[in-house]
Structure 1
Amino acid sequence: MDLKAHIRGIPDFPKPGILFYDISTLLRHGPAWRAAMERLAAAIRPYRPQLLAGIESRGFLIAAPLALELGLGFIMLRKPRKLPGATVGLDYALEYGTDRIEMQADAVAPGQRVVLLDDLLATGGTMAAGVALLRQAGAEVPATAALIELSFLNGRQRLDVPCETLLRYDD
């Protein structure tokens, strides 16, 4: 199945000059969504994860059903002050400013193998921050994964672990 046929490009969103890769068209097509989850499961299974982590918010849509498919637990990496209880966080640089990502302090056990997922790998800043945060909490991060990679933004170069992606856009 051609999964790219189920990704809609929306020009000038969220601002002029940006082409937004909308996964909602994939999510609402049952057979394509199933195929995407099966392909991602096959791609990350060799890394032997014990837990999957998703980056807010579309990463949740990828990681949670994939964790179910693989019989694993799922944790959330979120924006500040969105999680209950004690949290750990990491500030990271964006192209224009900074951001912060947090997770519950007890979400991972030391040495636990966690694969980090998001819907899209662009510049790699958020994914790299997520890897760093998981490691700060004691996790081993053997790989990351995303549905879509915008390869022309070179985000993969910011990661020091493999990144599995299903769909690649080169320009």
Structure 2
Amino acid sequence: MEDQDRQLIERIRAGDRGAFRQLVDRHKDVSLSLAFSILKDRDGAEEVLQEVFLRVFEKLGSFRFRSSFRTWLYRIVVNTSYNALKTRKKYLPLEDFCLHTPVGARPADGPQSLQEEEQKKYITEAMKRLKPDEALVLRLFYLCDMRIKEIKKITGFGTAKIKVDLHRGRTNLQHQLKMMLGDELKNLL
């Protein structure tokens, strides 16, 4: 993955604008998910993403590969999202969120895909009810498959806070799912 990012960055630096589109496509879904976990608003997260990729394009020439591109990018996403949140000073209603399906993704047919869609729907709804830091750390750890050390670089949080947010996030997510589903939880998961 990092080799592909490095090759794309080298092509971008050589003037290949199509390579930037490929780089954006590789990272936009997870970046959007991270921004949403902080902002709790899809439109706001999409606006942040536009700003993020504009910054990335402007600053890519100074990127030196001291960390992975993914770590550098997600740090920009997190910082830009928190800055946007500060300017708003409040969360938007939970009803403003619609489930995100990645561009080009097609739902599979049959009962298995319906069950997976239901699971996604409930988990997404439960994630919206978590504190922003907990949701962010859970997404980085599970969705992005990042280690605590990488999460620390991206968020600026200490190791202890990350571990506490992971623990509390899992506990709160489980609690939210139990409240939403009750006995259905056993059948769904």
| TM-score category, normalised to shorter length | under 0.3
Structure 1 or 2: larger strand share?
A: 1
- Which gives a bigger RCO, structure 1 or 2 (Cα 8 Å, sep 6+)? 2
Q: What is the TM-score of this pair, normalised by structure 1?
A: 0.28
State which structure, 1 or 2, has the greater radius of gyration over its C-alpha atoms: 2
Question: Normalized against structure 2, the TM-score is what?
Answer: 0.26
